[in-house]
Structure 1
Amino acid sequence: MKRYCLALDLIDDDELIKVYEQWHQNIWPEIAESILSSGIEQMEIYRVSNRLFMIMDVGDAFSFEAKAKADASNEKVQEWETLMWNFQQPLPFAKPGEKWVLMNKIFSLK
């Protein structure tokens, strides 16, 4: 199993952040299905201030490219992503069009 960690910022507005967290307390079933069917076995999102940190544990068959392709053709995922973009903003150093940015592991105790 592989683990990926990604980061993204929210718009720095307390009310928007509150609403964003409420959406994530009960995600749409189609979104959970798209995550699981892509080979993501576990996903968690943490927040400090307006910075988000996502941890994904994935199976051997997982591919970011395949997930992006499946998401692009999934109307419900596109609807969710459009809705979530009302709360999100790219990291200051993100490439154009880049949303979640893959983080580099710099330390492991093991």
Structure 2
Amino acid sequence: MPRRFGQVIKLKPGAYDTYKEYHANVWPEVLETIHACNIRDYSIYHHDGLLFASFKYIGDDYEADMKKMASDPKTREWWTIMDPLQASRDGHDQASNGPWWKEAEEMFYFP
């Protein structure tokens, strides 16, 4: 059975247009890696300076798949562009190895 995830992060002021433009044209290699890492139905929403991601994980080892994704060179290149556009809700940045995208608690689901 798939696991559903919701995550939230801040979008830095002035980053909206760049973030939206890049996500209108996500690199095919990044999409292939997302798929290879068992992520499905992936969406990112924006509201009032916040980004909310929603996806299903269909694999057996989430941590291993996330390590696989993080080791992909093209995905890492993508992140070097995206990370400066984002800010964690608690002030950490990606370089500090603090929490980045914060997982959200699922409060309701109706299939």
Confirm or deny a common fold (TM above 0.5). yes
Name the counterpart of 1:7: 8
CA RMSD of aligned residues (A): 2.1
Asked if 2 retains the 8 angstrom alpha-carbon contact of 1:11 and 1:89, the reply is: yes
2:102 aligned partner, one-letter code: V
Please state whether the residue corresponding to 2:84 is helix, strand or coil.
coil
Evaluate the alpha carbon distance shift between residue 6 and residue 97 of structure 1 in structure 2; reply closer, same or farther with a 3 A threshold: same
TM-score scaled to structure 2, two decimals?
Answer: 0.84
- Report the number of matched residues: 107
1:92: how far off?
A: 2.0
Letter in 2 for 1:88: Q
Alignment TM-score, normalising by the size of structure 1: 0.85
Shift of residue 66 of structure 1?
A: 1.5
Task: Verify the 8 A CA contact 1:6 1:102 in the aligned structure 2.
Answer: yes
The C-alpha deviation readout for 1:83-102, integer Å capped at 9, x for no partner, is 10121111126695221111
Structure 1: give runs of 5+ residues left out of the alignment.
none
Equivalent residue number for residue 101 of structure 1: 102
Do structure 1's residue 35 and structure 2's residue 9 form an aligned pair? no
Q: Contact 1:38/1:62 (CA < 8 Å) preserved in 2?
A: no
TM superposition outliers: structure 1 runs of 4+ over 4 Å: 93-96
The answer to which structure has the higher helix fraction is 2
| Structure 2 runs not aligned, ≥5 long | none
Q: Specify the SS of the correspondent of 1:42.
A: strand
Tell me how far apart the structure 1 counterparts of residues 43 and 71 of structure 2 sit (CA, whole Å): 24
Q: In the alignment, is the contact (CA less than 8 A) between 2:37 and 2:66 conserved in 1?
A: no
Q: CA deviation at 1:79?
A: 0.7
CA drift of 1:54 comes to: 0.4
